[in-house]
Chains A and B, each alone.
Chain A
C-alpha cells in the first residue's frame, strides 16, 4: 500500500479540449446479474474428475475449464504475478521450502451446503500432488511436508489439476466453486431425425453461497462436439456467446469483425521418436530430420500466422529462456547426413513411419508437411493417422500395424511451474532423465541445461507453438482470462441477460436435490 502526495497533472488527452457533443453514456455502468452464457466446445466428452486427467493432454485443457467452474484451488495467480488467497487465506513455509502451512478460509461451503474441512483438502490434494508429499490436516488448515525443497508449490497449487473437492461414496465430486453441475444431457439421436445426433450438453448453475460471491451469470450451458465451422456460424448468428476458434479460422473470424481472444501459446506440437522402428535409434537420422523441418512455413503458411515456430520444449512465456534455443532449417546439411545413412533407413521399402497421435485435420496436415520437408532431404516418411493419447501408447506390432518410428503429438502446458511442466514432459514422453535429481530443475540455469540436453539428444523435436483462440460475442462483459488460458467465467456478465436477474446475496440455496454436482462425466 502506498500513499502518494505528489500532485500530477494528468491525462492523455490528445488535446484535452476537444469539441464533442455531450453524448457520453451515463456515469459508470454496472454489471448485471442474470442470463445464461452459451459456450460451444469441439471436444465431445469431458471429465470433471481431476484424478482422471492426463498431464499435457488436450482433453485436460477442456476439462480444466469446466472444472474451474465447480471447484476452487487453495490459491490463485493473478495477472500481475501475485498469488491470491482462495480456499487458503494465509500460507507460510520454512527457509528450505520443505514444510508449508496453509490456513483455510473458514465457513466455505460445498454446493450441497456442507462445510469444507481440512480433511477434504488433504484427501483431494493428496490424490493429485506428486507422490512423496505428505499432507496433514492441522487445527487451522493443512500442512504439506516434502523430503525435498518445493519452492514452486504455489505455482503448482494455482494451476492444472490441483482443485479441492469432496468425493462422495458414489464417486460424485462436490465443489465450492461459483457454479455447480445442474444438468447433463448426453448426446443422443434427435427424435424427429434419428440419423442426426443431438450434441451433449452440460448446464452449470450459479452457486448462491459461493464464498467469493455469487457469480453474475445465472447459468452456463456448454454444448460439446460442435465442429469448428458450426461454432463460428453459431457465434455469428447469436446462438453462442463463447466458441473455440480453430487456428485456420482465426483470420476469417477477424475479417468478419468477430471478437477473437488468444492466449499465450499454450500447446506444443512436436515429434517424438519411437525406437519401435529401429531406424529411430540412429542419431544421424534424427539429426537429418531435425534439420529438414521448416518451422516457419508450418507456422506462417500452414497455420496462417496463428502459431509460432517452437525452438524449445517450454515456451518463452513459461521458461523465460526459450529464445536462446535455435532450430534452423539446413537442407544441405540434412541431405549430406542422409547420404551417409543406409539406403533402407527412411528410404527404399522402409519409410520412417510417422503416426499422428492427436485428432483434427490440422494435425494431419502438419504430419503431411513433416513428410514433405523430410522428402526434401531425401528422407522417406509415411504418415499413419491413428488417433491415440498424447505421448503415444504402445500398439501391438503386426503386419497391419507396422512399428512406428516417430509420433506427432500435442502437449498442453497445464502447470504454471516450468519445473513441473518440464518434468511432466520428460516423464510422459519417456525421455531419458539427466543424472541430476529432478529437484535441481527448480534452478532456472539447471533447467535450461537439462532442456538443452534433451533437445540435443533429438528424441523430441519441437515444431510449433499454438495459442488457444476463442470467439466472444458482443454482450459478454468482463472477459478477462489469464494469458495462460484460464477463462475465469465466474466474473463474466452478460450485457443482456436472457432470464430475470437474480438478486445477489439473496440467501437462497441452489436446489441441489437433483444436481449431480461434479461427477466425472464420460458419455
Chain B
C-alpha cells in the first residue's frame, strides 16, 4: 500500500477487491460514477479504483454496449460509503464499503504563489483561542491556548510540534465559555492569559497553581507587520464576524496617505479567530477554523518581497 494513501483510496482498493469477487463479472466494464460534490471534486479515488480493477483483469472501456458498473461515493453523517452495482443476469449485484468519515483527510487546498508567505504550523480538533510565539522565538516554539474537552488549557510546543508542557487553567476556577476571546502571552518561565474581565498568570513549571484576578480587558490592538522590502507598515484585518463562512485576511497599507494603494488578500479555509503579531514585526500568528475539516489551525504569516 502506498505510504501516502488516504482512507478513501484504501476504500476504493477494498471496493475493487470486492467487485472482482462478484461471480460471473467479466470485463471490459463501463464505469459510471455518482458522487457527492465534495467527493466528485477529488478524482484520485476514482483513478485508484480504475487501476485496482485493471489489476484484477477487469478492464475499463468507454464502449456504450459494455456492461455497466455503477459506482457511488456518498458522505453520510458518519461515513464515506462507496458502492458498486453490476447487473449480473436479471439481478443487481451490489457491494458496499464504508469508512469512517472522521478518518478521512480532506485534500489539501490549492496553493498559489503569492507575496504573503503562509505556513500551517499546528492543527488540532481542540478549540484554539490564541497562539503566541515563545519568548525564545528563534527556536520556533509556540504557546497555544485552547479548550480541550471544555477545560481551558495552555500548551507549550517545541519547533517539531511536540507538546512539552501542559497547564490546566481550570484549577483557577475558570468556567468553560463559548466566547472565543482569550489571549496568551508567553513571558519565558511564566505566561499570562487574558480572558473577558480576567487576567491569569501561571508558570510553565509543573505543579504551580494559576492565579487570576479581575481586570478590565484591553485586547490587542490591530496587528501591524513591517515589510522587509521597504519597511512600510501593513495592518492585518479580518472580518471574523461570521464563523460559518471562510474568511479573508486583508493586509492593508497602514499609512492613511496610502489608503488607496494595493492591499493583499489571503483566503482562509474558515473564520479567522485570532491574529497575534506581538513577537516579531515581520510575522504574525493567525488562528482559524478549517471548515473543511473542522480542525482549528495556526498559521504563520510573513510578508516577503517579490514572488
Q: Can you name the residue of chain B whose Cβ is closest to the Cβ of A86?
A: B150
Partner of B240, one of A28, A85, A444, A505: A28
Q: Residue of B at shortest CB range from A321?
A: B83
Assembled-state Cα–Cα distance A503/B216 (Å): 12
Q: List 24 A-B contacts (CB under 8 A).
A: A1-B122, A21-B259, A24-B239, A26-B237, A27-B222, A28-B275, A30-B240, A80-B101, A81-B100, A81-B101, A82-B101, A82-B125, A82-B294, A83-B102, A213-B177, A215-B178, A316-B74, A317-B74, A317-B76, A320-B98, A323-B34, A445-B95, A483-B77, A505-B177
Interface string of B236-247 (1 = CB under 8 A from A): 111111111000
Residues of A within 8 A of B239 (CB): 24-25, 28-29
Closest Cβ–Cβ distance, residue A201 to chain B (whole Å): 26
Q: Give the Cβ gap from A491 to chain B, nearest Cβ, in Å.
A: 6
Indicate whether A22 sits within 8 Å of B102 (C-beta atoms), given known contacts A10-B118, A12-B112: no
Complex contact A27–B237 (CB within 8 A): yes
Q: Is the CB of B112 within 8 A of A320?
A: no
Complex Cα distance, B69 from A324, in Å, reads 11
Tell me if B226 counts as interface (CB < 8 A to partner A): no
Known: A3-B122, A24-B252. A503 touches B197 (CB 8 A): yes
Residue with the greatest number of chain A CB neighbours at <10 A, chosen from B95, B102, B274, B275: B102
Please give the residue numbers on chain A whose beta carbons come within 8 Å of chain B beta carbons, in ascending order: 1-14, 16-22, 24-31, 33, 77-83, 85, 89, 105, 155, 211-216, 316-321, 323-324, 416, 418, 444-445, 448-449, 477-480, 482-484, 490-491, 495, 503-505
Q: Is the CB of A7 within 8 A of B123?
A: no
Docked pose: A107 CA to B95 CA in angstroms: 47
B72:A323 contact, CB within 8 angstroms: yes
Q: How far is the CA of A484 from the CA of B253 in the complex (A)?
A: 44
- Chain A residues lying within 8 Å of B122, measured Cβ to Cβ, are 1-4
Point out the residues of chain B lying under 8 angstroms from A216, CB to CB: 178-179
Q: For A318, what are the chain B residues with a Cβ–Cβ distance below 8 Å?
A: 76-77
> Once bound together, how far apart are the Cα atoms of A254 and B3, in whole Å?
48
Interchain CB contact under 8 A, B76 and A10: no
**Bound CA span A384–B11, Å:** 49
Task: Identify the closest chain B residue to A105 (Cβ).
Answer: B150
Indicate if the CB atoms of B83 and A320 lie closer than 8 Å. yes
Q: Which residue from chain B places its CB closest to the CB of A82 in the assembled complex?
A: B102
B194 to chain A, nearest CB (A): 13
User: B178 touching A155 by the CB < 8 A rule?
Assistant: no
Distance of A79 Cα from B38 Cα, bound (Å): 13
Q: Are A16 and B240 in contact (CB under 8 A)?
A: no
| B177-A26 in contact (CB<8A) | no
| B119 CB–A CB distance under 8 Å | yes
Give chain B's interface residues, CB within 8 Å of chain A: 34, 70, 72, 74-81, 83, 85, 92, 94-96, 98, 100-102, 104, 110-125, 149-150, 157, 160-162, 174-181, 196-197, 222-223, 235-244, 250, 252-253, 259-267, 272-275, 293-294
* Residues of chain A within 8 A of B85, CB atoms compared: 324
Distance, CA A89 to CA B243, complexed state (A): 25
Q: Is the CB of A211 within 8 A of B96?
A: no
> Is there contact, CB below 8 Å, between B77 and A11?
no
Interfacial chain A residues near B294, Cβ < 8 Å = 78-80, 82
Contact of A4 among B120, B179, B252 (CB under 8 A): B120
Contact B79 A320 (CB under 8 A): yes
Given the known interface contacts A27-B240, A324-B92, the answer about A155 and B78 at a Cβ–Cβ threshold of 8 Å is yes
A17 to B116 alpha-carbon distance, docked (Å): 11
Taking a contact as CB atoms under 8 Å apart, the answer to whether A81 and B178 are in contact is no
Residue of A nearest to B110 (CB): A12
A211 to B151, CA, bound (A): 10
Given contacts A10-B112, A319-B76, 16 further A-B contacts (CB under 8 A): A1-B122, A2-B123, A4-B122, A9-B116, A10-B266, A13-B267, A22-B253, A24-B263, A77-B78, A85-B150, A155-B77, A216-B179, A321-B81, A445-B96, A477-B242, A505-B174
* Contact across chains for A214 and B266 when beta carbons are under 8 A apart: no
